[in-house]
Amino acid sequence: MSSRTRAHLISLPVLAIALAPAGAQITPYGSGVNPAGSLALVEGVPMVGESFTVGVSNTASESAPAALAFLSVASAPDAAFPAGTVVPGFGLSAPGAPGELLLSLSAGFFRTVGPVSWGGGDAPPAGFPLTLPLVPSLVGMQLFLQGSLLDISAQPFLGVTNGLAVTLAAPDLPGLVLIQPGTFQMGSPEPFFAAPYFNGFDSKPVHEVTVSKPFWMGRYEVTQAEYEALMGSNPSTFLGADHPVEGMFWDDAVAYCDALTVQQAALGTVPPGYQYRLPTNAEWEYAARAGTTTEFHYGPSLLCDQARIQFSHHTGTECGAPSGTAPVGQYAPNAWGLYDMHGNVWEFCLDSWTFYTATPKVDPFVTGTADKVMRGGGWNSHSGLSRSASRYEVGTEFAYPTLGFRVVLAPVLVP
End residue of a domain, out of 132, 167, 202 = 167
Q: Which of 7-21, 151-165, 182-196, 292-306 has the lowest mean pLDDT?
A: 7-21
224-283: pLDDT as tens digits = 999 999 999 999 999 999 999 999 999 999 999 999 999 999 999 999 999 999 999 999
112-136: pLDDT as tens digits = 999 999 999 999 999 999 999 999 9
Same domain membership, residue 321 and residue 193: yes
Phi and psi, residue 129, nearest 5°: -75, 130
| Structural domains of the chain, count | 2
Confidence class for position 81, pLDDT limits 50, 70, 90: low
How far is 390 from 283, CA to CA, in rounded Å? 14
187-237: pLDDT as tens digits = 999 999 999 999 999 999 999 999 999 999 999 999 999 999 999 999 999
Per-residue pLDDT, averaged over 399-404, amounts to 98
Sheet containing 207-211: give its strands across: 182-186, 207-211, 361-362
End residue of a domain, out of 167, 197, 223 = 167
Cβ burial, residue 20 (10 Å; 0-12/13-18/19+): middle
In this structure, the strands spanning 371-375 and 207-211 are unpaired
Q: How many CB atoms lie within 10 A of CB 199?
A: 20
pLDDT attached to residue 285:
98
Same domain membership, residue 130 and residue 42: yes
Beta-bridged to residue 51, according to DSSP, are 131
In this structure, the strands spanning 361-362 and 207-211 are parallel
In this structure, the strands spanning 346-352 and 403-404 are parallel
Residue 14 to residues 10, 83, 105, Cα–Cα distance (Å): 13, 28, 18
End residue of a domain, out of 167, 193, 218 = 167
pTM score, whole prediction: 0.85
78 vs 4, which has greater pLDDT? Answer: 78
User: Which residues constitute the domain of residue 235?
Assistant: 176-411
How far is 99 from 173, CA to CA, in rounded Å? 42
Which among 328, 30, 302, 348 has a CA at the least distance from the CA of 163? 30
Same domain membership, residue 182 and residue 162: no
Same domain membership, residue 99 and residue 243: no
pLDDT attached to residue 106:
67
Same domain membership, residue 200 and residue 159: no
Q: Which of 59-68, 196-205, 406-415 has the lowest mean pLDDT?
A: 59-68
Same domain membership, residue 90 and residue 229: no
Same domain membership, residue 207 and residue 159: no
Same domain membership, residue 117 and residue 66: yes
Which among 63, 125, 72 has a CA at the least distance from the CA of 101? 72
Q: Which of 168-177, 333-342, 345-354 has the lowest mean pLDDT?
A: 168-177
Output helix, strand, coil percentages for the chain, rounded to the nearest 5. 15, 30, 55
User: Does 390 score more than 60 pLDDT?
Assistant: yes
pLDDT attached to residue 384:
97
Sign of CA dihedral 284, 287, 292, 295: negative
Same domain membership, residue 248 and residue 107: no
pLDDT attached to residue 295:
98
Per-residue pLDDT, averaged over 335-361, amounts to 98
User: Does 14 score more than 70 pLDDT?
Assistant: no
Same domain membership, residue 242 and residue 138: no
Same domain membership, residue 289 and residue 144: no
User: Does 349 score more than 60 pLDDT?
Assistant: yes
17-63: pLDDT as tens digits = 333 445 788 999 888 899 999 999 999 999 999 999 999 999 998 88
Sign of CA dihedral 41, 44, 47, 49: negative
% of the chain exceeding 90 in pLDDT:
78
How far is 69 from 16, CA to CA, in rounded Å? 31
Most confident of 55-64, 151-160, 296-305: 296-305
pLDDT attached to residue 251:
98
pLDDT attached to residue 17:
32
- When the pLDDT of each residue in the chain is averaged and rounded to a whole number, the result is 91
